[in-house]
Structure 1
Amino acid sequence: MSIHWQQVKAEAASYLQRLIQINTTNPPGNELAAAHFLAELARENGLDACIQETAEGRGNLLISFQQEAAHVMTDPASSSLLLLSHLDVVGADEKDWEVPPFSGEIVDDVLWGRGTIDTKQLTIMELMALILLKREKRVFAKDILLIATADEESGSTYGLLRLLDEYGEIFRGKHVISEGGGFPILVSGVPHYLCETGQKGNCQITFHVASSQSTPYYVDNQPMKAAAQLIQRVTKMRWASSSPCRGVGLWEINDWQGYPALD
């Protein structure tokens, strides 16, 4: 099957326009209206969809490529790829916008609106990919599950967290494509596309110092001093100049000489 990409672009843009016109500013969210719109769109294109309502007017949308979505939710092993996005958006003050933020208007081939980059565009991209695969009659050994959640912008209490409480096993051992990675940037006139494999992680460092000979009558502050010096050195850490990316590299060995060993 030959794909006419200009037609796909126009079709996807029309879906995104309609999704943006559903105001899902969080709070209060109102994501159910968006979820119902997308569920009907999915069913019209041969996909199956179900909605997990989490509060009045709020809920998560689940669309499966091959099986009934409800079955995929209760049989985690039946799917291998999850396409994740969210339906809520942050607030938008219309006076700050050149084009009304919930109009979905296209000006000079640019689609305007709150959610066009966070992340209603991703929801439509993922849904459009499934629609195209369905039209080409593709079949896979395991299913693909699209999940568009509520409440991401305010902590996910009525969104992903509720989904994890009831169906958390569907994420175990899966490949997940979600928002992240940043935007294209120009470096010396050459476009670079950023990739991201993790976000908001913790880095914990444990170190030990020599045992102290301190007594209640003679306080030995040397261990405390050594710890403070190490912390100060960490804050001034230099990255190896050979690292291909800023912020990614190896600590220079000389930075640690004379200081307590790390675990």
Structure 2
Amino acid sequence: MLHVSCVLENPSIVTNNLLQQAAHFLSELIQIPTVAGTATESQAASYLLSIANKIGLNSRVVEPQPGKGSFIAHIPGKSEECLLLLSHLDVAPVDHPHNWKYPPFSGTIADETIWGRGAIDCKGLVVVWLVILNLLNNLKIPLQRSVLMIAAADEESGGNLGTKWLIENIPECQKIQCVLNEGGGYPLVFRHRNFITCQTGEKGQILLQANDSPTKTPLPSSAKIEDLYPPSTRRMFEEILPKLVSKRLLPSGITKLYLKYLQKDAPYHLDLDQLLYHTVNFERDNQSTNLRICTMPGTNSEELATAIIYDNSLDKLEWTEISKVDATESPLNNQLYNYIQISLSKFFSNHKIIPHITPGYSDSRFFRQLGIPTYGFFPLLPDAPLTSQHGDNESLPFVTLRKAIEILFDIVTRFCL
């Protein structure tokens, strides 16, 4: 049994053999083309189960519908309350396979990098969680909190046959205290100061449709609406902006210009419109008018939609709600969030965490809607080339995979010991 202090003091928990094994797992997982909408996640879940059985993990596959299998593994602690390590098995479609350096489902290992669809979103994180559970199991670390891993089906298609179903149907989900998931871990630079994002919330989306004969009144194709900043955005400003500026919380237009200046010459930029505003898009065809709104946390989306409809003189049309996902946000005064910063500082002393509200939504929303603190953090190296999650040439370098395992293992052990 490994002593607790040895675990927390040892940053080199990932041996070269373990790293090679993790890369092999990821390569083989990428070779199972679990494209959204094809109901092939059970193949990937069964592959994970075969690995888990070999390394002695308590695990199983749960399949609410044929092909929609999710992988579940569990390491018990003294308390039944658990930390959930969440990820998903399905991947985005590949629109232009000929643009890829290597075939997108080949799982090619070249140049100390694993290439293929899902390397970052989200099979890389699946493998990180599996390796961490293997480490916890092999090191016989005495846990206070239990650890639960879920590699879910159906995330790219909305999550109803994956995480949402699991929350409603498996008993382990009733004991979840906090969640770590995808959605953050991206390096940013603001005037030579280094930050890494932690996703603490997600914007909401509401889609309304009017099937009546559209009015002849011209519509804006898009719009931005300023509102009160949610706590995560306020904290982000406190970390990035000078104190005198952040305390005044300047109007969005001025803040946007200031942040744009601070990001000048940085390799990667925040989408400031998504960060600072509700975004509104109108679409019109011969049969209908569609209204799509992306809302910040703390906003009543129905009231906002009603105001937009009246402001654009569209209240004579009969509107129907087609879909709605509420915005969500997790608290910043949480032990797990604090450990994310502590562990990051251990490995990158000149980097700070900044909370981030992302424009898209993930399975994290299901837990935040239940009041369970959920944080997106899959750390990518500051010097590693970022690839678009749903774009061409998705890849994960060995050095980033190693560091992600080390940092996330440190967070998990701090929280669960």
Q: Same fold (TM over 0.5)?
A: yes
Structure 1 residue 41 corresponds to structure 2 residue 41:
no
Task: Report the alpha carbon displacement of residue 134 of structure 1 after superposing the two structures with TM.
Answer: 1.3
**Distance in 2 of aligned mates of 1:109 and 1:3:** 19
Please name the residue that 2:38 is paired with. Answer: 28
Q: How far apart are residue 183 of structure 1 and its match?
A: 1.7
**Among 220, 240, 255, which residue is 1:245 paired with?**
240
Which residue is 1:146 aligned to? 149
CA contact (8 A) 1:31 1:59 kept: yes
Taking the TM superposition and a 5 Å limit, the aligned residue runs for 1:57-136 are: 57-66=67-76, 78-92=80-94, 93-136=96-139
1:184 shift after superposition: 2.2
Partner Cα separation in structure 1 for residue 103 and residue 75 of structure 2: 34
Deviation, structure 1 residue 172: 5.5
Q: Alpha-carbon deviation of 1:250? A: 5.7
1:236: how far off? 8.1
Contact 1:152–1:160 (CA<8 Å) still a contact in 2? yes
User: Per-residue CA shift, 1:80-126, capped at 9, x if unaligned?
Assistant: 21100000001113212111011111221121100001010001001
Distance 1:143 1:110, change over 3 A: same
Correspondence for 1:178:
181
Question: Matched residue of 1:88: which SS?
Answer: coil
TM-fit CA distance, 1:235? 2.6
Cα deviations across residues 26-49 of structure 1 (Å, max 9, x unaligned)?
111300010011011112111111
Contact 1:79 1:145 (8 Å CA) reproduced: no
Partner of 2:62: 52
Matches within 5 A, 1:203-242: 235=226
Say if 1:104 and 1:173 are closer, same or farther in 2 by CA, change over 3 A. Answer: closer
The amino acid that maps onto 1:89 is: V
Identity %: 35
- Aligned residue type for 1:33: Q
SS of the aligned residue for 1:95 comes to helix
Q: Specify the SS of the correspondent of 1:243.
A: helix
Q: CA deviation at 1:201?
A: 5.5
Contact 2:81 2:175 in 1 (8 A): no
Secondary structure of 1:196 counterpart: strand
1:197 Cα deviation from its structure 2 partner: 2.1
Any idea what SS the aligned residue of 1:34 has? helix
Q: What stretches of structure 1 of length at least 5 have no aligned partner? A: 68-76, 203-233, 255-263
How far the C-alpha of 1:191 sits from its partner, in A, is 4.8
In the other structure, the counterpart of 2:219 is none
Unaligned runs of 5+ in 2: 3-11, 206-224, 252-417
Against the structure 1 CA distance between its residues 168 and 96, is the aligned structure 2 distance closer, same or farther, given a 3 Å change threshold? farther
Name the SS for the 1:193 alignment partner.
strand
Match for residue 167 of structure 2?
A: 164
- What SS does the aligned partner of 1:51 have? strand
Q: Distance in 1 between matches of 2:157 and 2:163?
A: 11
Secondary structure of the corresponding residue to residue 200 of structure 2: coil
Q: 1:15 to 1:253 in 2, by over 3 A?
A: closer
Partner Cα distance (2:50, 2:179) in 1 = 24
The Cα of 1:186 is off from its aligned counterpart by 4.3
**Against the structure 1 CA distance between its residues 177 and 236, is the aligned structure 2 distance closer, same or farther, given a 3 Å change threshold?**
closer
8 A contact 1:87–1:120 mirrored in 2: yes
Counterpart for residue 5 of structure 1: 15
Deviation at 1:139, TM superposition (A): 2.4
Per-residue deviation, 1:151: 0.6
Offset from partner CA, 1:174-205 (integer Å, 9 cap, x none): 11110011422345566532222222359xxx
| 1:237–1:251 CA contact under 8 A, matched in 2 | no
For 2:73, what is the secondary structure of its paired residue? strand
After superposition, residues 190-209 of structure 1 pair within 5 angstroms as 191-200=194-203
Q: Secondary structure at the match of 1:80?
A: strand
- Relative to structure 1, is the Cα distance of residues 58 and 173 closer, same or farther in structure 2, using a 3 angstrom cutoff? closer
Pair 236,191 (structure 1): closer, same or farther in 2 beyond 3 Å: closer
Cα distance in structure 2, aligned partners of 1:103 and 1:52: 27
Q: CA deviation at 1:171?
A: 5.0
TM-score (norm 1): 0.70
Mapped to 1, the partners of 2:38 and 2:71 lie a distance apart of: 17
Does the 8 A contact of 2:83 with 2:176 survive in 1?
Answer: no
Write the letter of the residue equivalent to 2:64: T
Provide closer, same or farther for how the CA distance between residues 242 and 193 of structure 1 changes in structure 2, counting only shifts above 3 A: closer
Q: TM-score when scaled to structure 2? A: 0.46
State which structure, 1 or 2, has the greater radius of gyration over its C-alpha atoms: 1
CA contact (8 A) 1:47 1:66 kept: no
